A and B are shown apart, each in its own frame.
Chain A
């Protein structure tokens, strides 16, 4: 356990340096700009090498592609201009302590035509003026994309390859075609593989400790000793990929020197020469200093994003990985706290230098999302000891000062092991930033990962991926966001005997499970619902496995594989199952609404018998028009059991449902030799799926948002303590892919606010051996309703109003109106009383 040397854990007197202030100001001023360099170079080199017309692409062929791209991509050391809203250019002062850039733009939109970039094709000419989250794009870029780049990928992006394969497989695997059809309806589930896998944490320690040259040398040795073509190809790919990254870094060094020669002042010249010297050394060779270590991480990060979509790639436990270098520099007198904060701030801004590609229609489902690059701090080490160190607090301070949505900071806390002062500081940062970091309970999370077969050491070394998904750092390839399942659709099909109101009653979707109007017991209906869930699980996993096989044939990832535990020993790429731990993750949407709906059906139809199932269905089909009294009765937590009120009936259903989903998914194999894990985080899909879904038996009207994550339904859980206990009572072993429990507090509350904040977290995290594992995760918004309403009316006045959505952080102004409404209408608790505050709906 490293000693804490900081006299003030809040580091309050350490503020942003002028360099970082200038960069931060430019960051918030800049709008995202489309960058076509990656797409252009990948297309150009793919043509040269004849890739993507082949029936299969090997890791070595991919490595050759990336090697050439690294040779040709622009080595950006300093950005000189950016664009603000309206695509108006402005000059900026870029004196970042890091060189290199994910794209050629200060805030770029990288395009991955192998994946979903073609979805932007219809709106290329209006991207810069679209209402939500516009991207600046030039006429020339539109021309090049429309005429040169996109046509190349018409037949060979992942989505189309998957569709073609399902047509070919129709005789032997008819389910694949059905699954694709369900995907097209958008209301049953989404699968992210046409857009990405990503969603993992690389192991940077290899690159930091041995340098990329060391990794390449090891690969060459392994290749020389290999006895089969496939592993030889793989090791050759690793070595070539590492060479590519080194070459890029050296080009940055050359560019830095060139700029230094023309620098207008001595300080600028010295800074550029220092950059050149660093890039001469790392990431090729082992890092010797904190700054070199950070640079190695950054170079690997840029490389990883060349290969993998910028969706959910996460940086892991940087406070652990970089602590030895930090401590050494401090001990040698080469680094101060201010230096460390400045370096981290510059790196955080670099990490946030890109946004994901989201088409206009996608804004309704994913609006406002960043790239969800999670960083994890704190927790315990592999031996179970307190791992919180000085760097943990410095990273918290950097995050507090910058208030960026990306990287997305997550903090681990182990009750009884990590010091109370650390939890106090985590809650303090939440109050000050109003939304970050998310807090993860080590006890519950480690137990969840071990329940899936991980060793205790592996489980203890978890980091957070994307939104909230716990993943053993650098060794688990878990594609934690592979499927996003709309649980309400399974309920819908149970209610309407395998038909769905969105696709049209009269159109059979799944297998008949019977008319609920003739169910004599609740258990009969519950069984029908379970069958519908099982069917949907089968469809979703069939589709994910289909696309997984497409990735195996056409999208090996030698860069990421080089930075991972497992592939080097196994001689196989991550996509072939090279990782030590292989799994696939699911995010379930609509949990609370389904639990409450089932509880309502049980109570109203079968226990009280105050109405028939037929009458209930009539009311649902009418969207409660003419049935307002019923709707209010169903919404009334005093008359109808609700999840989140420690109600026995609702709790029993919640437990039953979570166990069922974990069992169904957990017993389903994926294409890499692992199994599926279930989580309850929703990004903004609870708004998107809610929009597509009709009225539900919990009193929700058609088109209204579902509830986010694993959170109880808004407005129906008046007691904070009961809500915390209800969620915490769910055994973490069923929730291994993570949960997002979104809690909103009224700000204010005086000096006692922080104490109460800490108390609430401790209550929630508390485990009772044999009875409850404690809550896994909790995240906060501490913003007054009035502030939200003002921000809706005047978004430009609130550019950095940070909110926790359902997993990731976002800027409130970037969310679509439906999502903004959902956040405003979340249950707001007054910490001084522990009760919900009553507000009218928006």
Chain B
């Protein structure tokens, strides 16, 4: 519920504020993400990343170009299912769910919470590095993971938290 209210706030804010102001606000949210990653609550980190992505799509026209013509769905989870979130992309929009959806395009399972943290806090998150380190299993179309990693890195670069 809180998440929906915040999204509504941001949608209204886009109508009245400059992109630079909004970017500053998103950066503030992103700092919260960074603090989260440095803390112990990894279960929130995935959701925060997806939330930040969602907000960025709302606010940043250039970033929104990543959604053009793109349809796909992701589940990011840990092997013990303590962390699970889903991202759905369709019709130039993104939606985030706090649980694993059925039949996603791709499921990325991090074998431990530490593996998830390593991925999210990496200077440049790279799924191939995670595969090499045996940190993850990918079920589904790996190409979609490549795209997701581009969007995640693009976001962190824009927000200055990489």
Chain B: interface residue count, which band? Answer: 20 to 34
Whether B134 contacts A185 by the Cβ 8 Å rule is yes
Does B126 count as interface, using CB distance less than 8 angstroms? yes
Mark contacts of B93-128 with chain A using CB atoms, 8 A cut-off: 1 yes-contact digit, 0 otherwise.
Answer: 000000000000000000000000000000011111
Question: Are B154 and A692 in contact, CB atoms less than 8 angstroms apart?
Answer: no
Do A361 and B125 touch across chains, with their CB atoms under 8 A apart?
A: no
Task: Tell me the minimal C-beta distance from A434 to chain B in angstroms.
Answer: 32
Tell me, yes or no, whether A839 is within 8 Å of chain B by CB.
no
Closest to B144 in A: A154
Tell me if A150 and B154 are in contact (CB < 8 A). no
Instruction: Tell me if B14 is interfacial: C-beta within 8 Å of chain A.
Output: no
Taken together as a complex, chains A and B put the C-alpha atoms of A317 and B70 apart, in Å, by 48
Residue pair B141, A122 in contact (C-beta under 8 Å): no
**How many residues on A have C-beta within 8 angstroms of the other chain's C-beta atoms?**
31
Does A126 sit within 8 A of B, measured CB to CB?
A: yes
**Which residues of chain B are within 8 angstroms of A154 by Cβ–Cβ distance?**
72, 141, 143-144, 147
Select from chain B the residue with minimum beta-carbon distance to A143: B65
Answer whether residue B138 sits at the interface, using C-beta atoms and an 8 A cutoff: yes
Partner of B146, one of A121, A147, A187, A503: A121
How far does the Cβ of B22 sit from chain A's closest Cβ, in whole Å? Answer: 22
Return the CB mask of B120-162 against A: 1 if under 8 Å, else 0: 0000111111011010011001111011011001100100000
Chain A residues in 8 Å Cβ range of B153: 122-123, 125-126
Majority-rule SS of A interface residues? helix
Among B125, B131, B132, B138, the residue within 8 A (CB) of A122 is B125
* Pairwise interchain contact B142-A159, C-beta atoms closer than 8 A: yes
Measured between alpha carbons, how far is A502 from B154 in the docked complex, in Å?
32
The residue in chain B whose Cβ has the minimal distance to the Cβ of A359 is B128
| Complex: A626 Cα to B110 Cα, angstroms | 32
Judge whether A360 and B141 touch: CB under 8 Å: no
Question: Is there contact, CB below 8 Å, between A361 and B150?
Answer: no
The answer to whether A540 has its CB under 8 Å from any CB of chain B is no
Q: Does A89 contact B (CB under 8 A)?
A: no
Is B82 an interface residue when CB atoms closer than 8 A count as contact? no
Q: Is B39 an interface residue (CB 8 A)?
A: no
Q: Which residue of A lies closest to B65 (CB)?
A: A147
Residues of B within 8 Å of A740, CB to CB, are none
B69 / chain A contacts, CB cutoff of 8 Å = 151
Give every chain A residue within 8 A of B141 (Cβ-Cβ). 154-155, 160, 163
Complex Cα–Cα for A146 and B146 (A): 11
A157 at the interface (CB under 8 A from B): yes
A146 to B153, CA, bound (A): 13
Chain A residue contacts of B72, Cβ below 8 A: 154
> In the complex, are the beta carbons of B132 and A186 less than 8 A apart?
yes
Q: How far is the CA of A502 from the CA of B72 in the complex (A)?
A: 31
A121 to B68, CA, bound (A): 16
Closest chain A CB from B109 CB (angstroms): 12
Question: Are A146 and B66 within 8 A (Cβ)?
Answer: yes
Contact of B150 among A124, A153, A185 (CB under 8 A): A124
* 29 A-B contacts (beta carbon < 8 Å): A118-B146, A121-B146, A122-B126, A122-B127, A122-B153, A123-B124, A123-B153, A125-B153, A125-B154, A146-B66, A146-B150, A147-B65, A147-B66, A151-B147, A154-B141, A154-B143, A154-B147, A157-B143, A160-B143, A163-B141, A163-B142, A184-B137, A186-B131, A186-B132, A360-B124, A360-B126, A360-B128, A360-B129, A361-B128
Which chain A residues have a beta carbon within 8 Å of chain B's beta carbons? 118-119, 121-126, 146-147, 150-151, 153-155, 157, 159-160, 163, 184-187, 359-362, 364, 502-503, 692
Beyond A122-B150, A123-B126, A151-B70, 12 extra complex contacts between A and B, CB < 8 Å: A118-B146, A121-B147, A122-B126, A122-B146, A123-B124, A125-B150, A125-B153, A151-B147, A157-B143, A359-B128, A502-B134, A692-B134
